[in-house]
Structure 1
Amino acid sequence: MMTSAIALAALLAAPAGAWAADAGAPAPAAQPDEQAATPEGLADIVVTAQRRSENLQRVPAAVTGLSSDAIANAQINSNEDLQFNVAGLTFGQQTGVARVNIRGIGLESITSGADASVAFHADGVYFARAAATAGVFYDIERIEVVRGPQGTLYGRNATGGSVNIIHQGPTEEFSGYARLTLGNYSRIGFEGAISGPIVPDRLLARVAVKTNDRDGFGKNLATGKDIDDQKLRSFRATLDWLPSDDLKVRLWGDYHTEDDNNYPFHYVGPGGRDRNKPASIFGFLYDTDGTIMPVGIALAGFQFGDPQDELRIRPPRRRTRDIYNNIMPINDRTFWGVGLDVTYDISDSVSFRSISSYRDTYWSLFNDLDNSEVDWTRIRQIEDAWQFSQELQLSGKTDRLTWLVGAFYFREKIRDGYFELFFPAFDDGNGSGRLFLGGSTDTDAYAAFSQVTYEAIDNLNFTVGARYSYEKRGVDHSRIFAPFGWNFTEQESEGFSAFTPKFGVDYTTAGGALLYATVSRGFKSGGFNLGGVPGAGLTATTAAYDPEKVWSYEVGFKNRFFDNRLQTNISAFYLKYTDLQVSKIENNLVVVENATNAKIKGVEAEITFLPVDGLTLSLTGNYLDATFDEFFSDDPTTLDEGTVDLKGNRLPSAPKFAMTFAPTYEFTLASGAKLSVRGEFIHQSKKYFTPFNRDNAVQVGHQRYNANIGFDSANGRWSIDAYIRNITNAVHFSGTVINTEPVGFTRSAYLEEPRTYGVTLGFKF
């Protein structure tokens, strides 16, 4: 496959025409797959994916860049929206926690306190808690997605890649904008910012806000109240101090809160099977194939002999988005942080940068675990964490040499876990029916890194990088089961270290084509299954799991043709994982275990074509072959099967094919105003949500359609945008969970948004 990719790149490079834009020259930010058209063709975009400003087409790596205009045109308001605009990226969510996957690797564990394999950065700050990323999607200058392991420059937990959000900064001129959105489900959304000088040329400030209120996408038919509604508030303030031309100091703070009935469990059927049909206090009924009937469903009135007829106990579910639970979901989230970014130009060729940050994350979600109107089992999941990070960088450039050295320190403390309250009707008010699994985690991480690029001859560069990481983790396990008076605790600690090098070569042909090849290593720290106390009797589980390691081999090609009107960015890759971390729900506990080996290979393409002025055709797509090479495990939901060989099974959240085709047509009216029309056709093949590749946890292949129309006044100050997303109102799963045996293996799903439409009124000044 690699040989074929190199041959394809060479073939495409041969007829290429020259294209404007020096690699180091400033360029307007624009989206590579939907860039602004200019008289010379497609515009350029500058990114900082390699910790320095570069033209995207000169970066020897698989990087997607999205400008602020592109973000607005594509209605990117969340991680979920991002997946339709980046090749190789998929998204899922469970309990409101973003599960971003790149090339089949991402956030595998659904428990609070879990670490993702795709790093997330906002303004250079690493976000350890995936849930907290929901508070950054507004007032954005650009988004950069770096695909593939990033062990050298990004380090911690970037074995899948990195998503980088860069927010708008203060301006020297007084300016701002306001956007009001009105939509179905009674949506009222607002986003706006004010920016300008406090002391001209010395002290600049910017304040941005975002709010969103809407009714629920469904109802709890047992209570008559809305679920999947939203009420969020976000705020960010940024201050730039410019004491001299060589020194820039940026201070910022942000705050985000949610208080609604979002993220409920949607019951989608039974999920357990035991063809031996033993007597069980948890599995009340069995179908002919051994399907286990969930406890709450059975108690609520299923007829013996007809256990699959879900409609016997609840009204016909004309809307799949409804639930029928005795309690309402309660979502409570607060994220905030402060940061300090200091940049000092020591000389014309050497620069120093320091990024310091403190972040606090709290979220709590209360749900009905048995998915029925019977008051059988309730669950409350909590994540309460704070982190401090400090990164130092020293970089420089000469005629032939570009270099960077740095150091990184990270400190985090997490208190997390979940409470399950069994048979609440019999609770004495002191938690007599309560099970708690969780505890606290302390992490200290240290790293030193460097990357050097040397131009051996004109247009031929060699890159060498390396990072040494050391991480120490300590945990306090807690497992309490009140009915029996059990209270187990245990403390553990362990250190993990890794050396992650990178080797690369890139060459720019006379025609302007960039060819590159890289070999790199990635590392994700090991950890502990919090709450899993060895020898504790009920639901005892071995607690520790090993680090995840990967070697990555990638080749790529970037070029423009036809007088700068066709852009093709193609990459092919092969990833070899050792001790890949995967998870399952076993004995009331989310258990992370290590798959011995996994292999991932694939091809990604981002193509933009400007056939005539005003018409832009963009296509992003990927082919992914992501399978386990050696892995034995037992599926807790199939009690009769035992340990199975998972070799050849696809990795979770790794569809074989995915693509987005987005034509955009923009034209100028006689008045000087501009009108634009955009459509999106999205296809994604089948993806599984567990390594067992069973139909009880899968999203089948599907299509999705989005569209919007935009109008901008001649002076550029006023705008009106109308949008419609998920035009066919299809129901797609963004994640499924098969819950534990005490509730009879209920199968719960989290759903992508239904058809939404609305109008956004905008004003700039």
Structure 2
Amino acid sequence: MAQGVERAKDGGAIDEIVVTAQRRQQNVQDVPIAITAVSGAALRESGVRDPRDLTMLVPSLSMQAGTAASTTSLFIRGVGIGDFNSNTTGAVGIYVDDVFIGANAGKLFNVFDSDGIEVLKGPQGTLYGRNTTAGAIRFNSRKPTDTLSGDFSALYGRFNEVRLEGGIGGPIAGDKLKARISGLYHRNDGTTFNRFTGHRVNNLDLWAARGIVDFTPSGDALIRITVHTGRNSGGARQFQHRGQGVDFFGNPAFLPDGTPTDGFGYADTDGDPYAGDYDVEGKERINVFGASLTGQFTLGNVQLTTITAYEQVNRATLEDTDASPNQVISSYSEDRPRQFSQELRLQSVGENTFNWIVGGFYFHDNLKTDSSFDLLRGLRDPSAPLGGFDPVNSLGLLRYPYTQKTDSYAVFGQGDYKLTDSLTATLGLRYSHDRIRMKFESLFDALGTIVPVTAYSDVTVPLVSFDGRKSFNDLSWRAALNYKVDDTLVYASFSKGYNSGGFAGGASTDIAQLAPFRSEKLYAYEVGVKTDLLDRRLRFNASAFYYDYRDLQVFVFDLSGPVPVQRKLNAGNARIYGLEAEVTARPVRNLELFSAFTLMDSKYKTFTALGGASLAGNRLVNAPAFAASGGVRLTVPLANGSEVRANVDGTYTSPIFLYPDNATATKVKGYGLLNARLAWSAPGGRYDIAVFGKNLTKTRYITAIFPVITQDQVNYNEPRTYGVQLSAHF
């Protein structure tokens, strides 16, 4: 059974989903981990396009938009790091076909020709190559099939959105050699109008392709080669402008009606988050390539798995940082991460009294980046010496090239021992060693420009030259008990997660800002129940958790100088506790109701801010007190064998804070979203046509706020979209 595939025992029962979260095929209801599994069909019907869209299906998963579409930060149960810089791995591990993806920009190309997604909540490490504190998201691609099969879909929607997706696969040489190729093309004209030029911005234009070849020389051996590539050539993120109400000298700056302006007296006053005045129309170019070689060999009662993978990303982003018609600040960045990983696992085969797995993992990442901010060009005097260059008052081009090399080693293992037919004990251990070297420079460039192309000069003022090394070690674990009777599973676990320390990757102007931050550790206590009732027509899964979060890493801005400086540091300690539940009901054969919710309470126990103020007692960032999702799916069979399917779903998220200080200016109000889809499917399901709408209520909410010089750049969610989709399967 392929990963994430739904399987129903009878037409009236709730579908069974098979996952490999514990490195063996299991019904998700038999896995003693808080996990949300979504099949490929459900992903398509819910309109999930990339990892950010999963927040529609998993209430405990939230996201914070970065400075570009490719730098989104993910949080699970309030655990995450809102750092958009390129050297940030994040607290949520992303795996594509068991390959860990380190680079942020490489995570946008995964949700196509999908067999399903698994969202694992809580620390993961005793079964996985890369350790994480928040959890893991596993993307599973469709694999080659024994017979020729294919899938294709074409979508057209608002903003001239076009999405073409397809895959075809089958045998090449009997049952020995099989292959599948798939591809995606996705574009739109842009969701935001630029009043300054009359163009649409925030546009999308990407393609991706994947090829998988399976060679099975015998029934005990599988060798799989996967190659993927893709390119994004759309627009960079265009923000909304929000003045801070001060000029460049700290004096109040407001319009006559009281609207705060920036230092040039500009304010965006139309109240439309999908329109702005941008003198720079940002562009983003991302090229990705990756390949992996997977081998699975059954040697009697054990199975050996080896995964060798290489990933590379080239990203270049030009951004109108000030989101205004004036030359306050614009930026350009180039990232070139190169990643190699090797995982080796040995595990028992089948269901035994004692099931075990041991493994080792090596990860190497070589990141080269060169970024710059063009600061306050509108205040510079071109006739003055060096064009009015003045580093003391931040008039010039701030450039910060750096190289970071990471080597991570780990050994891990887990054993499940059946104490009785119903009671199983689990113990897992992991040792991690991470070694990081950062070579960083920061300088002011007198005559350089970043628009329209990168053009640095030789007239520079060095600010920082840094070469630092730091190693981090950790022993983490998982201990659990689970009790299974009939269709009910009860479990309790205690686990420790670890996220390596490192160096900040922002625009540092003082060597003190490059001091390494410590590793964060999370101690997770959890109890849960999973049960199917009423002949599997009612499914109820719930878990309660308590997190002891120590040395947590936070991303903040230092606002003490004329230019906000990005800082990454350890906040101290925090605690999070909560309750979450998922309920699915199928009262009659063709009607399914589903809902999920998360209740959560979080606070910093100890946290001294940069200015010395205590933030103890404040809520953690991106940690809503309540979040929920739910919906209904209705299938109406027709006389000729075709059917009509209707799907309505929605989400609600209570207010959150975007920064640890819990300031009102960076608080996001609670919001809800509503989506719908209506489809007609031909007899046998060979093809269908659907109409859909996302964000039907035209809800507007903030996804991120970043301070810049005398103003804030504000990210908003996507506007209402709708369209039609045609799909075919054979």
Residue identity matched to 2:304:
F
Residue identity matched to 2:689:
I
Query: How many matched pairs?
Result: 698
Alignment partner of 1:460 out of 423, 448, 451: 423
- Partner residue, 2:526: 554
What secondary structure sits across from 2:305 in the alignment? Answer: strand
Deviations 1:263-283 (A, max 9, x none): 11221x23478xxxxxx8453
Alignment partner of 2:13 out of 34, 41, 48: 41
Residues 1:168 and 1:690: Cα distance change in structure 2 (over 3 Å): same
* 2:313 paired with 1:338: no
Residue identity matched to 2:719:
P
Residues of 1 paired with 2:106 and 2:625: CA distance? 29
Deviation at residue 40 of structure 1 after TM alignment: 4.9
Deviations 1:51-102 (A, max 9, x none): 1111111111101111111111111111222111124111222111121110
In 1, are the aligned partners of 2:463 and 2:510 still within 8 Å (CA)? no
Deviation at residue 487 of structure 1 after TM alignment: 4.5
* 2:700 paired with 1:731: yes
* Bigger shift: residues 318-327 or 428-437: 428-437
Residue identity matched to 2:717:
E
Residue identity matched to 1:702:
Y
* 2:721 paired with 1:756: yes
- Partner residue, 1:611: 587
* 2:646 paired with 1:671: no
* 2:243 paired with 1:270: yes
Deviation at residue 155 of structure 1 after TM alignment: 5.6
Residues 1:232 and 1:758: Cα distance change in structure 2 (over 3 Å): same
In 1, are the aligned partners of 2:3 and 2:19 still within 8 Å (CA)? no
Residues 1:142 and 1:535: Cα distance change in structure 2 (over 3 Å): closer
| Mapping for residues 302-701 of structure 1, pairs under 5 Å | 310=267, 317=270, 319-347=272-300, 349-397=301-349, 399-424=352-377, 433-483=396-446, 485-509=461-485, 511-530=486-505, 541-586=513-558, 588-634=564-610, 642-701=611-670
Deviation at residue 534 of structure 1 after TM alignment: 8.3
* 2:716 paired with 1:747: no
Deviations 1:257-298 (A, max 9, x none): 11122311221x23478xxxxxx845353469xx9966xx44
Residues 1:654 and 1:417: Cα distance change in structure 2 (over 3 Å): farther
Residues of 2 paired with 1:180 and 1:677: CA distance? 19
Residues of 2 paired with 1:630 and 1:442: CA distance? 32
Residues 1:198 and 1:515: Cα distance change in structure 2 (over 3 Å): same
Residues of 1 paired with 2:661 and 2:705: CA distance? 13
- Partner residue, 1:257: 231
In 2, are the aligned partners of 1:569 and 1:605 still within 8 Å (CA)? yes
What secondary structure sits across from 1:185 in the alignment? Answer: helix
5+ residue gaps, structure 1: 1-25, 274-279, 303-309, 635-641
Deviations 1:694-726 (A, max 9, x none): 122222101111000111100321110111000
- Partner residue, 1:190: 164
Deviation at residue 194 of structure 1 after TM alignment: 1.3
TM-score normalised by L of structure 1: 0.88
In 1, are the aligned partners of 2:39 and 2:117 still within 8 Å (CA)? yes
Residue identity matched to 1:675:
V
Deviation at residue 414 of structure 1 after TM alignment: 0.8
Residues of 2 paired with 1:27 and 1:43: CA distance? 15
Residues of 2 paired with 1:292 and 1:521: CA distance? 48
TM-score normalised by L of structure 2: 0.92
What secondary structure sits across from 2:480 in the alignment? Answer: strand
Residues of 2 paired with 1:753 and 1:533: CA distance? 32
Residues of 1 paired with 2:370 and 2:667: CA distance? 26
Deviation at residue 666 of structure 1 after TM alignment: 0.8
Residue identity matched to 2:358:
V
Residue identity matched to 2:723:
G
Residues of 2 paired with 1:162 and 1:593: CA distance? 23
Residues 1:532 and 1:226: Cα distance change in structure 2 (over 3 Å): closer
Residues 1:546 and 1:292: Cα distance change in structure 2 (over 3 Å): farther
Residue identity matched to 1:719:
D
In 2, are the aligned partners of 1:680 and 1:707 still within 8 Å (CA)? yes
Deviations 1:227-283 (A, max 9, x none): 11111111111111111111101101111111122311221x23478xxxxxx8453
Residues of 2 paired with 1:628 and 1:474: CA distance? 30
Q: CA RMSD in A?
A: 2.3
In 2, are the aligned partners of 1:220 and 1:324 still within 8 Å (CA)? yes
* 2:122 paired with 1:148: yes
* 2:29 paired with 1:71: no
Residues of 2 paired with 1:325 and 1:446: CA distance? 46
Identical aligned pairs, as a percentage? 29
Residue identity matched to 2:55:
Q
Residues of 1 paired with 2:173 and 2:283: CA distance? 45
What secondary structure sits across from 1:696 in the alignment? Answer: helix
Residues of 2 paired with 1:674 and 1:532: CA distance? 57
Deviation at residue 110 of structure 1 after TM alignment: 2.2
